Amino acid sequence: MAQMAISVEKLTPHVGAVVTGVDLSRPLDPGTFKEIHDCLIDNGVIFFRDQHLTPDQHKDFGRRFGELHIHPAAPGLVEGHPEILVIHADETSKRVAGEVWHSDVSCDPEPPMGSILYMHELPPVGGDTLFASMYAAYDALSEPLKRLLEDCTAVHESEHVYRGRYGVKDEGKVFPKAEHPVIRTHPVSGRKALFVNSGFTTRIVQLKRAESDAVLQFLFRHIETPEFHCRFRWRERSVAFWDNRCVQHHAMWDYYPQRRHGHRVTVRGDKPFYRP
C-alpha cells in the first residue's frame, strides 16, 4: 500500500490545520495514519476538503483511532449505524447541536477522545464552527490561578443538556455525570489543558458554591478569548476531526431557517487525569 503524499497548512499558531493529499475513503497505510495522527496531536483539530465517505468508510476511518463511542442520549437515526450521530438543523429547529462552547460528552466517566464530523449539506452562507485550544487557555492563566486549579476537580452533568432534547421518550433514563480534573494532562502530548466547559461543567468540588460559580464564569469567558481560536468555513464534503482532550468547539447558528446536515463519528477516550 503506497503512502499518500499529504501536506499540512496551519490556520493559527495555537489550533487548526488543513490537511490535503489524503482520501479518507481509502484504507490508510501506516505512514499516512501516523502523519494524520501526529498532525491531530500537534494542531488539536484538522480539516479535510472534498471527501466522499459512505457511513461505513466514515466509521472505518474513526476506528483507526480507537473504538467508536455511541451517544448516551441521541437516537441512532442512520439505520444500521448506531455509532453515527446525525447533526441537523432546518426551519423547524428550536436549537442546534453545539451552540455553546463545549467538549463532546465530557459528562461521561471516559469522555470521547475525538470527534469526526462530515458535512453533507450546508446553508448558502454561515454555519461555521469555532475551535479553541485548551492548551493556550491553560498557558494564559496566571501562575497562582494555575496552582489553585491543579488541585481541583469539577462535576460534569448532562441531565440539563439531554433531557427532552432529542424527541424520544426518556422518562426514567439516567444521563451521565462524572467528576474530572479541572486541568487535565493530555495522554499523548503530555501537555496541560483546561478541562471545564459551559455546556456540561456545573461546579468545582473543592470550592464553596459562590466561589465555584465565580471561578467557572471567569474560565468560561476566558475560553472565549479570540487568540485561542480558529474558525472553519465549511464546504460540502468537508471533514473536521477534533481532539476533545485539548480542544473545545462552538457551532455558529447564524443560518436559520436554512438547512445544515452532517454525520459525526466519535472515538472513545479514557479517564482524564492530572500529572504535575
- The three-state (H, E, C) secondary structure of 27-43, written as one string: CCCHHHHHHHHHHHHHH
Give residue 175's pLDDT: 85
User: Which of 233, 240, 18 lies closest to 124 in space, CA to CA?
Assistant: 233
| Residue 2 belongs to some domain of the structure | no
**C-alpha cell belonging to residue 115:** 470527534
Contact criterion met (CB below 8 Å) for 112 and 244: yes
Give residue 54's pLDDT: 97
| Residue 273 belongs to some domain of the structure | no
Give residue 205's pLDDT: 98
| Residue 272 belongs to some domain of the structure | no
Going by pLDDT thresholds of 50, 70 and 90, the confidence category of residue 77 is: confident
Please give the average per-residue pLDDT across 115-139, as a whole number: 97
Q: What is the mean pLDDT of the chain?
A: 94
Contact criterion met (CB below 8 Å) for 200 and 73: no
When divided into structural domains, the chain yields a total of 1
d(CA 152, CA 180): 9
d(CA 162, CA 225): 27
- What is the three-class DSSP state of 129? strand
| Residue 193 belongs to some domain of the structure | yes
Instruction: Please check the confidence at residue 2 and state whether its pLDDT lies above 60.
Output: no
Q: pTM (2 decimals)? A: 0.95
Going by pLDDT thresholds of 50, 70 and 90, the confidence category of residue 1 is: low
Please give the average per-residue pLDDT across 56-64, as a whole number: 97
| Structural domain containing residue 171 | 7-267
d(CA 205, CA 39): 35
Q: 50: domain CATH number?
A: 3.60.130.10
d(CA 197, CA 106): 8
| Residue 276 belongs to some domain of the structure | no
| Residue 275 belongs to some domain of the structure | no
Q: Which residues are catalytic?
A: 102, 104, 249, 264
Give residue 20's pLDDT: 96
